[in-house]
Amino acid sequence: MTKRQRLLLLNGCSVSTPSVNPKNYKEGGVELLQKDWYIQYRFRDPKHSVAYPKGKLCIIKGMNKYQTLKDRRDYTAILLEAELQELKNGWNPITKVHMINEEIEAGKLLPQTPFIDAFFMALEKLDITEKHRKQVNWLIIRLEKAAVKLKYRQLSIDDLTRRQLKEVFELCKMPANYYNHSKRYISSLFTELIEYECCDVNLARDMRYQKVIKKQREVLLPEDLDCVMAYLKINYYEFWRYCKIFMLSGARTSELMRLKYGQVDLQAQEFTVVISKGKSKKEVKKVILLGAIELWKELLDIAKPGEYIFSKGLVPGTKKINDDQVSKRWYRLVKNSDQIKGPEGDPLNITADFYSLKHTFLDSLQTDQAQKLASHTSARTTAIYQVNKEKRDREELKKLRIVV
């Protein structure tokens, strides 16, 4: 007697190759309709080997309601395929529940890991900032909701196709700019998953970027900026001081929020920040401009070793505050204020965001100076911040007198 081949399943379980009774159901004649048809197999679970030493005998019926050979054969084929798929998906006929892969449950990245779970697990392994981690985490949660609607939630990372991933992205209905960022985020997760041999191809990498219409950032007019800063200095001094230092530093808010007492050398007119780009980090010394020295001195006079320069209330302290605290203050104290008066005494309606301060200041410098101050590696990056330079260039061209 030929030993029936067994199919290996989750957690050491296995199943014999399902067979159909009658054995000649594919070739026999109409007399087969008088017989009782069924599918049978034995399911083995090492945790229940005492109760079922030979495995549990499982019988599947339902095809006998069909009264023609074609219909009964077709439905038998459907039942066979459906039952095998259920078993592969973790169905345990002994416990009557779907099993969870114990290796996956233990936190191991495997090809069989559902792709959403694989994304979450890969994210934990990336060496990135907490802010970036939160952004990617929010994205995966959003993708998970779409995957559930498409019935892809249990699809393994190894079985996921580019088409299916694209369908998940499209169902999220993201703006083009966010879609492109999301594509890069997921691509970085695939890079990690490939190293763990969960999949062979970076599906996100070859998805096309969406076209983005680049909008020019709004900046404050110099006269409006003067009015805003004057208002803040009188009413919210600590925030004014931070705005002034931020504007003259060329640093990002995230870099300043991480800055500690020992990283500022007032005598050398320098402070050291850690710039993160993807997986790489590097220390960069930035210059303290003459116009900001006294403000830095105020902070260092009250700061203690090991303290953050900008903590709660934007004064030195032991607690690191979130980057978005600054933008929230700007919205509350500037954009949402009707107390800021313009040069003519009329209320100013400020719509520019906080980061416009950096754009406004860098825009006032020569490109090479702005590039050095902001620690940009290329003039092209600096050009993004110098939003009015293009306009000034056009105005200069208008004044040219060329005789031909």
Q: For each of the chain's 404 residues, which pLDDT tens digit applies?
A: 455 678 888 888 999 999 999 999 999 899 999 999 999 999 999 999 999 999 999 999 999 999 999 999 999 999 999 999 889 888 899 999 888 776 665 667 888 888 998 999 999 999 888 888 999 999 999 999 999 999 898 888 999 999 999 999 999 999 999 999 999 999 999 999 999 999 999 999 989 999 987 777 777 888 888 999 999 999 999 999 999 999 888 888 989 999 999 999 999 889 998 877 656 678 888 888 888 899 999 999 999 999 999 999 999 999 999 888 999 999 999 999 889 988 888 888 888 888 888 777 666 554 444 444 444 444 444 444 444 555 555 455 445 454 34
Is the separation of the CB atoms in 283 and 273 below 8 Å? Answer: yes
Q: Cα(3)–Cα(11) distance, rounded to whole angstroms? A: 23
Element (H, E) at 157: none
Token pair listed for 96: 């009557």
Q: What is the DSSP string of 314-365?
A: GS-BSSPPPTHHHHHHHIIIIIT-S--B-TTSSBP-----TTHHHHHHHHTS
Helices 237-249/293-302 angle, 10° precision: 120
- Which regions of 225-295 does DSSP assign to beta strands (E)? 264-265, 270-277, 280-287
The whole-number pLDDT of residue 104 equals 60
Directed axis angle between helix 176-195 and helix 130-149, to 10°?
Answer: 100
| pLDDT value of residue 382 | 41
Structure tokens at 293: 């020295």
Q: What is the pLDDT of residue 2?
A: 52
How high is the pLDDT of residue 24? 92
Residue with tokens 């800055």: 259
pLDDT value of residue 384: 43
